[in-house]
Amino acid sequence: MATLATPVAAAPVHADAPPTYAETTRDVIATLQPPGRKYFAGMALVLAGLAFGAFCWGYQLRYGLGVTGYQPPIFWGSYITTFVFWVGIAHSGTLISAILLLFRSGWRTAVYRAAEMMTVFAVMTAGLFPILHLGRAWYAYWVFPYPNFRGVWSNFRSPLVWDVFAISTYLTVSATFLTMGLIPDVAAVRDQARGWRKKLYGMLSFGWKGSDREWHHFGRMYLYLAGFATPLVLSVHSVVSWDFAMAIVPGWHATIFAPYFVAGAIFSGCGMVITILVPLRKAFRLERYIRVSHFESLAKVCLLTASIVAYAYATEFFMAWYSGNPFERASFYSRAFGQYWWATWIMLTCNAFIPQLLWFKKVRTSVPTLFVISIFINIGMWFERFVIIVTGLSHEYEPWQWSYYVPRWPELGILVGSFCWFSMWFLLAIKFLPSVAIAEMKEALPPPLKGEAHR
Amino acid sequence: MERRRFLQVAGAAGVGVAAGCSPVSGERLLPYVNESDQLTPGIPEYYASTCRECPAGCGIVVKTREARAIKVEGNPQHPVGRGHLCARGQAALQGLYDPDRVRQPYRRTARGLEPVAWDEAIQAIGMSLGVAATSGPDRVALVTGAETGPLDAFYDEWLAAFRSRRRLRYEAFAYEPLREASQLTFGVAAVPEYDFAAAQYVLSFGADFLETWLSPVEYTRQFAEAHGWRDRRMTKFVAVEPRRGLTGYSADEWIAPKPGTEGLLALGIAASVLRHGKAELSGAEADRVHGFLSRFTSRAVADAAGVAESVIERVAREFAAARPSLAVTGGVAGQHRAATQTAAAVNLLNYVAGNVGRTVRYHGTSPWDRVSRYRDAVAWVAAMRAGSIDVAIVQGPNPAFTLPKSAGFADAFKKVGLKVALASHLDETAELCDYVLPDLTPLEQWGAVEPAAGVRSYVQPAMTPVFDDARQAADVLLAIAAKAGKPVGRGATGARDLVAAGQAPAALDHALQRGGTFAAAPARPVRLAPDFARLPYQAPAFDGDAGAPVLVVYPSAALYDGRGANKGWLQELPDGATRIAWQTWIEVHPQTAARLGVADGDVVAVTSPHGKVEALVYVYPGVRPDVVAMPIGQGHTAYGRNARGRGANPLELLGADATDASGALAFCSTRVTLAKTGRSVRLATTEGSPRQLGRGIARAVSTAGALAGRVEPGPEAAVTDAERAALAAAAASQRARAEIGVYAQPHPKWEMTIDLSRCTGCQACVTACYAENNIPVVGEEQVARHRGMAWLRLERYFEGDTSGSDFQVRQIPMLCQQCEAAPCEPVCPVYAAYHTPDGLNGQIYNRCVGTRYCANNCPYKVRYFNWWDYGRDGDPYFAFAEPLNWQLNPDVTVRTKGVMEKCTFCVQRIRFAQNDAKVRKRELADGDVTPACAQTCPADAIVFGDAHDPASRVSRLKGDARGYHVFDLLNTRPGITYLERVIADGEA
Amino acid sequence: MTRTTSLIAGGVLLGLTAALAGVSLVRGQGAGTRAPADTAFSALPRSAGAGYSSLDGVRPGGDWPALPGRLKGPVQPIFYRHDIHAGQYRIPCLYCHNNAANSWTVNLPSESTCMGCHLVTSAPDTAGNPNADIAKLRDDFTKGVPIPWVRINKIPEYSHFPHMRHVAAGLACQTCHGNIQQMPRVFPVRNVSSMGWCTNCHMERGVTRDCTACHF
């Protein structure tokens, strides 16, 4: 495998000293060195998991959805839960890279590249699930409005069709945004690469030379894309939330859903960013670039969104009681104290209670603690969707049709598979693309004094 | 050969549907060599016949397509059933096409049953019959079911030819007590004809006349006439039984006496009627009755029966006040050691109230007169044990299963030299036989029965036999007799000749077309016999230790005496009362359950002095705390894939010598102890919550309320006028926006009304729907996971305090409501669910991609998803194993895995009628289209039609004051209007 | 020898009865101002005496349309030439496929129907030997063996097509099945299996396009 010119840097003498431009370039590019045994071990594990997920889906395609735990009237379960989960994960990426850019908040520079990668891969994962959960997945394309001789069309009144457009748009834009932002960094890598890598990066950097004009246009374009992506952060997850809000199922049919889902999405997204950055930072010794202060900022976003989500929970229960609607009341009572109490209380604990620890600076600034909390957030947010979907369906209008559902192994297999699919892409990306934005890092550093560059 | 060709032609039209998609490439079409003038591919042929699934003998019409029977429906011209049919009758098709049928003759050798040629078998049997006949009289036994008419006579003649009179017309449920009691009280050993329609007050002492008792379909029809709310009045129905079954659900009042004391209650009520001078008696007769009844004071009876004295007095007043009233008894569940006394007491009560001759009529004969009594069956077993029978031929019944184990049938049967089974299935009895000769099922047979006085109802084959090698029993017997050189049947060569004997061909054809000859038979007056009081009148004894609960064993409305156990439709049909399918449960009162520490689904060992079985606990408020109940029908050790090794047979718990004065088996004769096994099983029930929590799903009012025009308020009652106005406005705008394209033209709007005052919850509609719409049978495990596919389900909710007997049961058939503003339609991304111009919620199976969003959004939960590939051969859940797939309705798509399906008001019938009308250049008339459920409903509770036609029945009914829509507050505007049930509150 | 003659005699009777049955069905079920026989026939070039009387005009050995170089469509057990029967001799479609007028599905003619003519006509060659395929037909008929025709047209199980209604509406069979009367050997025409064909026609004629008209 072709290698890069710069040797791996030894750990700097005093870690907290701000790195110089040269160091930045060197250290970041160092992350693209040929991977070690650990990396391949991890990759093998991930591929194995992915293979198992694929097997589960094949099994389901062969015998039908009967292999899942679905128990009418609970017709949606872990698949839609996981779908919403991944769409949610995707959101913080765009938030951090686009919205925070518009807000000119400097701390994003260190983390946004990883966050954007996460976004793209999360959407790629999420996009699988609407197909996975179909009874006849091989006809999934019927959902698209393609011209045909028979005069049949897709139903634009159906939130599922809105989903199709929302997700595909989001994937396109976030992918564009990522590639765009990569150009200068890829160029930097290109200059030091040899062999086929040079060709690859050459293509990806679109012949970037770093001239003023290029920087000027780049800045403008980047800003424009940021502005373009920002509304999507709000719209996409609102549309996803309407899958539920547009239905008349008690516990789904609520106007609060759009903001509630968006907040939840950003919450889970930031949680996932922390979960990913902590090991990344450790593995690549990026402590000097991804600093504790960055984690603290992420923690603050988590705290804010967690509080919004908690408020949304409270509102839901309050409205169920206040509306006087017997069906809503019964549904939410069963949510809290019915068969699914366990799921509900996992959700509340992880999303509403545990994040309150972030009020304490000690907690916010302790990376290990943050890591643990972020794991809880991920679990909690998966269960939030599970609770909304499953408890809602399990306790609907017809008492005679109340029922109980727990996922079966093919569903869990596919859930694991989805995580592996995501990790696979991420592992590949960090070895081929700079996972920290070199150029923007430098913006945040003190400019080099005369001659220092040669030190 | 002929049949083959039929099938091959049908193959082209039908088999593709059945076996799923088969490519045109290589597919062959085989035309007739000689065209049939009867059969037009694509157009159904109908044959009138008689249902033989139970002795009731309802008239049926068999619908055939391409020479295959695909549907059984009632014969409107027939006096029994009048065009309606029960679930068992609907399921006759699954007996016809059962893959487990005996397909060829077998002979038992050391290596077990082995195929044998017909001639060989007939030769051998004829030989041994000849020997038996020469070796002495009565060495040959012939066992059949409750036969009447020419074949019955033929069987006797045949037997006589072999010098034997050992004829057993064996029925597990033979209603001996009714006959004996009639003999005692009126000197007529016959089952009377009851007229529920004319009764102003019905008092049932444990008779399940809406399930299995005598003629359930006809009685359901009559009962619905009387008990349904019409002209602002109705008949009150009081059920007196320790276990409240499906029939009891229709009761306006449930009185739960101690088991065995029903007779005393009847006498107590009669005495009270007499005391209040309401009796229609006079002279010496009155004195005699007085003298007899004087000791049955309400107090004494109340103590004995555990029923409040006031209740007895009140019921007596009501019963006497309503003229004519009707008291019935004799249900299997209430058949204990004092069953005859109970029946006699009820006869007396009817006589005292002057019902005899009005609602209780005696004819010269009844189809039950000659049915053997349990006593006779026991005598037959004894004879076999004594070795005095050389040849036993069993045609139809299955004594090895229906006789209590302690009767020792199996051992005695082994002592018979030659045992021959003329059976369509290899059931427990057939498995014991030396020869098993394949019999035809009733839909392939010739025959004639007399189900009621003056009625001669014909059985004719609706198609050529499914299996070439099967022959009708009568034909085989003729052949055997011929071989044995004993000419019988006056030169008849087959069953048809026997049936046709002595009739002009034209007359016969006419009768066959109508289904039979129906003459009104005059009732004959009866007087009270002098020695009616011969028997001792007290509560019967029960085996087992006094503390333990009494076991009530009752016939399953679906499986009857077990003969239905191999029919998937009947196995999957939830029990009327417990709503459990496929399993054997034991009903335990909540208090008893708490005391024993058992819960739903716990496996308990049920032990009686005579045997031990295992059953699943179902905690059920419909039984007394000192009673447990189990259904008959499961626990087969043979018979077929659906029956074998499933559940338990409670008859194993009974003492064979526990009989009553009429020599009937006392099904309710022993106490049992329940012991936990520690195991627990998921109940295969459709029940989610037994309470409707005031959601106004199944509604009811009292007669007083109905007269005052009150309706039970649903949850939508909270909606204010402003909100109502808003809803109406929204509806109007929706309609306006819907008036585009094809929707703009004038169309019919198909709607339905369901009268809950008539519906008894018998679920005939459910099975009819299975038959009409190719609904797959999914099996116990899937049903337990709420994956049953029945498009139409009966929901059963308890109302009121279920700790005692004072609670109401609400039932409602729930099917697709065909909403005008259907929540399922807008959410489908591909328009598989959409609104048809004629007001249906269309479901296009071939367009569905299976997002299941529609099902989530359906508040009525009436959409069903194909979790497996039920229609594909080789799939683990393939539901139409050859030849069951012959029954598939060619007009209905067999759904593949991954698609949603649901009720569409039998849209195929609508389209068929519309096309037919169009081709004939005429308009559709009201009643031209009838969905399968409405067609079969014995209570005529379901009415279907065009709501845009103001003259149609449905238009008139939906305007009824009792009409309501389920979940009206959701503004779905359903196409089904339910008419709420009216519950008689008796004297105010 | 005698056996065959008696069989043939029986065949004549059966054939005629079948033919009559067919005719009566068509006439009886037509229920239109125009007899469906004609409507089905209407797409063909009209000529005097067309219709059932056309049987009389049968001239065995008359000059038949020449066979093209290569034939489309699957090889059938008997080389039945629609171009001769429906084309040259102008036998109405409904004469043999009579159920199209009164049923959803359409029948293939029974052998007895074929024998109605082919007892008499055998298209002998110059040597007087009957045409090989007709001989095979007669043989099968006497043996009582049905002809295993290869299926040409089929719509999927999930769609239901009421033939009688389209015939009653005066639609020519050729509209969907192509110019059968010009096909020496019948081959599938895409129209039958494409929903677009149905919907377009229904659109043009302004008749229902409701899905449940066909799909249930």
- Cβ–Cβ gap C194/A149 under 8 Å: yes
| Band (A451; pLDDT cuts 50, 70, 90) | low
Pairing relationship of beta strands C149-150 and B391-395 according to DSSP bridges? unpaired
Angle, to 10 degrees, between the axis of helix A108-126 and the axis of helix A292-323?
50
Q: What are the pLDDT digits (tens) for A224-242?
A: 888 888 888 889 999 999 9
Question: Cα–Cα distance between A323 and A346 in angstroms, integer?
Answer: 26
Place of tokens 């009415």: B943
Q: How far is C197 from chain A (nearest CA, A)?
A: 8
By the 10 Å C-beta count (0-12 exposed, 13-18 middle, 19+ buried), B720 is classed as exposed
pLDDT at B16 (0 to 100): 34
Question: Cα–Cα distance between B107 and B116 in angstroms, integer?
Answer: 6
pLDDT at C23 (0 to 100): 42
What is the dihedral sign for C-alpha B820, B824, B829, B832?
negative
Using CB atoms, pick whichever of A71, A76, A327 lies closest to residue B856: A76
Interface of C with A in 150-209 (CB under 8 A): 194-196, 199-200, 203, 209
Question: Cα–Cα distance between A181 and A93 in angstroms, integer?
Answer: 13
Q: How far is B811 from chain A (nearest CA, A)?
A: 11
pLDDT at A30 (0 to 100): 77
Using CB atoms, pick whichever of B849, B853, B855 lies closest to residue A136: B849
Element (H, E) at B149: helix B149-161
Q: How far is B945 from chain C (nearest CA, A)?
A: 18
CB neighbour list of residue C79: distance below 8 Å, 6 or more residues apart: C133, C185
Q: And the tokens for C159?
A: 């769609």
Q: What is the DSSP letter of B357?
A: T
Q: Which of B830, B716, B856, B860 is nearest to A252 (CA)?
A: B856
Question: Cα–Cα distance between A6 and A25 in angstroms, integer?
Answer: 10
Q: And the tokens for B440?
A: 């035809």
Check residue B288 and give left, alpha or beta (phi > 0: left; psi -120 to 50: alpha).
alpha
Place of tokens 């705008």: B733
Question: Cα–Cα distance between B337 and B543 in angstroms, integer?
Answer: 11
pLDDT at B39 (0 to 100): 83
pLDDT at B6 (0 to 100): 41
DSSP string, B723-745: HHHHHHHHHHHHHHHH-SGGGGS
Q: And the tokens for A38?
A: 């650990």
pLDDT at A453 (0 to 100): 47
E-state strands within B546-595: 550-555, 585-588
Q: What angle do CA B632, B638, B639 make, to 5 degrees?
A: 80
Q: Are B195 and B223 in contact (CB under 8 A)?
A: no
Closest Cα in chain A to C199: A150
Q: Is B872 helix (H, G, I), strand (E, B) or coil?
A: coil
CB atoms within 10 A of CB B483: 17
CA distances from B290 to B66, B284, B295, B326, C65 (A): 66, 10, 9, 21, 103
- Cβ–Cβ gap A150/C196 under 8 Å: yes
Q: Are B331 and B364 in contact (CB under 8 A)?
A: no
Buried b (16+ CB within 10 A) or exposed e, B301-339: bbebbebebebbbbbbbbbbbbbbbbbbbbbbbbbbbbb
Long-range pairs of B137-140 with CB within 8 A, sequence gap ≥ 24: B137/B163, B137/B164, B137/B165, B138/B163, B138/B164, B138/B165, B138/B166, B138/B388, B138/B389, B139/B163, B139/B164, B139/B388, B139/B389, B139/B390, B139/B391, B140/B164, B140/B166, B140/B389, B140/B390, B140/B391, B140/B392, B140/B393
B297 inside 8 A of chain A by CB: no
Q: Which of A365, B750, B604 is nearest to C212 (CA)?
A: B750
pLDDT at B534 (0 to 100): 84
CA-based radius of gyration for chain C: 18
Q: Once rounded to an integer, what is the mean pLDDT over residues A283-307? A: 89
B870 inside 8 A of chain A by CB: no
| Band (A32; pLDDT cuts 50, 70, 90) | confident
Using CB atoms, pick whichever of B782, B829, B850 lies closest to residue A154: B829
Cβ pairs bridging A and B (under 8 Å): 165
Place of tokens 């000859």: B517
Question: Cα–Cα distance between B954 and B965 in angstroms, integer?
Answer: 14
Check residue B457 and give left, alpha or beta (phi > 0: left; psi -120 to 50: alpha).
beta
pLDDT at A386 (0 to 100): 96
Q: How far is A399 from chain B (nearest CA, A)?
A: 5
Cβ pairs bridging A and C (under 8 Å): 13
B878 inside 8 A of chain A by CB: no
Q: How many CA atoms lie within 13 A of B260 on its CB side?
A: 23
Q: What are the pLDDT digits (tens) for A34-85?
A: 888 999 999 999 999 999 999 999 999 999 999 999 999 999 999 999 999 9
Its pTM stands at 0.90
CB atoms within 10 A of CB B768: 30
Place of tokens 């032609």: B9
Which residues in C lie closer than 8 A to residue A150 (C-beta atoms)?
195-196, 199
| Touching subunits for chain C (3+ Cβ pairs under 8 A) | A, B
pLDDT at B51 (0 to 100): 95
- Cβ–Cβ gap A135/B970 under 8 Å: no
Q: Once rounded to an integer, what is the mean pLDDT over residues C140-157? A: 91
- Cβ–Cβ gap B28/C111 under 8 Å: no
Element (H, E) at B385: helix B374-385
By the 10 Å C-beta count (0-12 exposed, 13-18 middle, 19+ buried), B467 is classed as middle
| Band (C8; pLDDT cuts 50, 70, 90) | low
Which residues in C lie closer than 8 A to residue B750 (C-beta atoms)?
none
Residues of A with CB under 8 A from a CB of B: 63-66, 70-73, 75-76, 133-136, 139-140, 142-143, 152-155, 157-161, 164, 246-249, 324, 326-327, 330, 393, 396-403
Per-residue pLDDT at A29 exceeds 90: no
pLDDT at C9 (0 to 100): 53
Using CB atoms, pick whichever of B24, B834, B921 lies closest to residue C154: B24
Question: Cα–Cα distance between B679 and A197 in angstroms, integer?
Answer: 65
Q: Are B84 and B765 in contact (CB under 8 A)?
A: no
CB neighbour list of residue C149: distance below 8 Å, 6 or more residues apart: B28, B29, B30, B31, C76, C77, C108
Q: Once rounded to an integer, what is the mean pLDDT over residues A87-115? A: 83
Using CB atoms, pick whichever of C99, C107, C144 lies closest to residue B33: C144
Closest Cα in chain A to C196: A150
Which residues in C lie closer than 8 A to residue A151 (C-beta atoms)?
196, 199, 203, 209
DSSP string, B645-670: T-S--GGGGS-TT-B-TTS-B-SS-B
Helical residues (DSSP H) of chain C, grouped into ranges: 2-30, 36-41, 82, 93-96, 111-118, 132-143, 163-168, 174-177, 190-193, 195-204
Element (H, E) at B841: strand B841-843
CA distances from B220 to A3, B209, B212, B214, C44 (A): 89, 7, 11, 11, 60
What is the dihedral sign for C-alpha B503, B505, B509, B510?
negative
- Cβ–Cβ gap B919/C29 under 8 Å: yes
- Cβ–Cβ gap A151/C194 under 8 Å: no
Longest CA–CA separation in chain A, Å: 82
Q: Is omega for the bond preceding A73 within 30 degrees of 0, making it cis?
A: yes
Question: Cα–Cα distance between B840 and B911 in angstroms, integer?
Answer: 12
Q: Are A390 and A405 in contact (CB under 8 A)?
A: yes
Element (H, E) at B46: strand B45-50
* Alpha carbon B743 to chain centroid, angstroms: 42
Interface of C with B in 128-157 (CB under 8 A): 140-141, 144-154, 156-157
Q: How many CA atoms lie within 13 A of B649 on its CB side?
A: 25
Mean pLDDT for chain C overall: 75
Per-residue pLDDT at C33 exceeds 70: no
Closest Cα in chain B to C156: B21
Which residues in B lie closer than 8 A to residue C209 (C-beta atoms)?
742
pLDDT at A188 (0 to 100): 86
Q: What are the pLDDT digits (tens) for B436-492?
A: 999 999 999 999 999 988 899 999 999 999 999 999 999 999 999 999 888 888 888
| Touching subunits for chain B (3+ Cβ pairs under 8 A) | A, C
Q: And the tokens for C80?
A: 């039945």
What are the two backbone dihedrals, phi and then psi, of residue C179, each rounded to the nearest 5 degrees?
-80, 70
Question: Cα–Cα distance between B48 and A440 in angstroms, integer?
Answer: 89
pLDDT at B727 (0 to 100): 77
pLDDT at C125 (0 to 100): 77
Query: Which residues are B632's β-sheet partners?
Result: B555
Which residues in A lie closer than 8 A to residue C196 (C-beta atoms)?
148-151
Residue type, B688: G
Q: Are B900 and A65 in contact (CB under 8 A)?
A: no
Q: How far is B363 from chain A (nearest CA, A)?
A: 46
CB neighbour list of residue B626: distance below 8 Å, 6 or more residues apart: B258, B259, B549, B550, B592
Q: How far is B613 from chain C (nearest CA, A)?
A: 46
| Band (A450; pLDDT cuts 50, 70, 90) | low
Q: What is the DSSP letter of C98?
A: G
Positions in chain B whose pLDDT score sits under 70 = 1-25, 716-719, 986-988
CA distances from C73 to B25, B285, C68, C152, C172 (A): 11, 91, 13, 8, 21
pLDDT at B987 (0 to 100): 61
Question: Cα–Cα distance between B103 and C166 in angstroms, integer?
Answer: 43
Place of tokens 């110019």: C179
